[in-house]
Amino acid sequence: MDRILIANRGEIACRIIRSIQELGKQAIAVYSEADADAPHRHLANAAYPIGPAPAPQSYLNPDAILQAAADSGAAAIHPGYGFLSENAAFATQCGDAGIVFIGPSPATMQLMGNKAAARQLAQDAGVPVIPGSGQQPLDLEAAHKQATEIGYPVLLKAASGGGGIGMQAVTDPESLEKAFKTAQNRAKVAFGCADLYLEKYLVAPRHIEVQILGDTHGNLIHLYERECSIQRRHQKVIEEAPSFHLAQPVRTGLRDHMIQAALAVAAAVQYTNAGTVEFLVDEQDGFYFIEMNTRLQVEHTVTEMTLGADLVAEQIRIAEGQPLSWNQDDLQLHGAAIECRLYAEHPGKNFFPSPGQISALNLPSGPGIRIDSGISYGAQITPYYDPLLAKIIAHGCNRAVAIRRMQSALANTRIDGLHTNIALHQQIMDDPQFQAGAVDTDFLMRMLNP
């Protein structure tokens, strides 16, 4: 596996290229017409065009990507996150073409990609789940019945999707029909499947996830947890490791139970490669499985910083058939890390994407600071893709030091020519409630609407 193609773009493509090259392998990039001068193209050992700017004609086009793999002689494909990273059909196509897909098996991806089926699997494994409708897709009549039995508020979710896309919270029976149709339409557009399921809506929970790794030799380990509670429109904005909430001595038992639950879910599907098991935690510290992401997460960086690990390199080793590099006892947490996602978005327009050309750029550096970037001076940020520009990761001997380093890093960050969310991150870092670790999924709403 000397040549690996990255079926992605932006900061994650740049980050994967780095690990591939550090392993002494050749990194092959692909790029759309809009990314003809993008940094990931120039960082790679070779790069191949895959089509026009719209993602369905380029980064979501399996045939174009597989043709680039064949032309480049790539033995494997790393999908990154987003695009085709959780597409079981694409993983199968890779195998049929004799190319290694760096991720779990297509069967695992298909099972865990169906959120209702994954929920049932977790329940069968003895893992707590939020009361809900179960595996069968809902019609409107069944949704009314289930919502009445569970009790409002409830949450409608796409059965075949994730990332918060199409979620609809419903507070009363009168608004269910409209929310149901809206959720169906969004699910159909985003995932090609309008099936929905329904679950109890937890008010202001914490969102905590557990990173796991499995190899093809039957070894399965965890890499502790990440706190991902600071979100907007169900999209994560800031992540940290470890969870300040779970790190308190009084909650040692809760952390252990959540980790064991994550491993139970992974074991139930004989999981290989990197994956993340996600939970919600209520005010009484009850925790509930919500989904498993069968790919590398955007926020994997904070895990790497607190463990001194390279998850991408480990993914590649696992795909090559090697056993895990570590036993569970080898992995010990060191300090705390926080990640801020820098987006091209307009604070004055409800943080909607803000395309433009970068006219000035300064990204910070210093002790404990890591930058994962997919941008350069003069780059044109187009409306075709997710507006994530870069990630700042700050690590310190404890959470307070990590926060101070992040405050300094943000103060020394400059991205001109378009609107960004840098000021939002500064406001969060300065917030006394955030500094005290008092966060939940409604934190941003409260902070922005006092």
Residues 6+ apart with CB under 8 A from 226: 208, 209, 211, 239, 240, 241, 242, 243, 297, 299, 302, 303
Sign of CA dihedral 57, 165, 339, 85: negative
295, 370, 399, 405: the catalytic one is: 295
Tell me the residue type at 43.
L
Render 346-371 in DSSP notation, one character per residue: EGGGTTEE--EE--EEE---STTEEE
How many Cβ atoms from other residues are within 10 Å of residue 282's Cβ?
15
For tokens 């939970």, the residue is 279
The Cα 357–Cα 81 span in angstroms is 25
Instruction: Provide the β-strand partners of residue 158.
Output: 196
Residues 6+ apart with CB under 8 A from 185: 194
Residue 429's closest CA among 379, 388, 380, 392? 392
- The 3-state DSSP class for residue 116 equals helix
317 is catalytic: no
Tell me the residue type at 172.
D
Under 8 Å between Cβ of 103 and 273: yes
The Cα 351–Cα 344 span in angstroms is 9
Under 8 Å between Cβ of 263 and 297: no
What is the phi/psi pair of residue 120, to 5°?
Answer: -65, -40
Number of C-alpha atoms within 13 angstroms, CB side, residue 218? 0
Residues 6+ apart with CB under 8 A from 349: none
The Cα 391–Cα 305 span in angstroms is 13
The Cα 306–Cα 310 span in angstroms is 11
CA distances in angstroms from 47 to 7, 309, 312, listed in the order given: 11, 28, 20
The residues assigned a catalytic role are 295
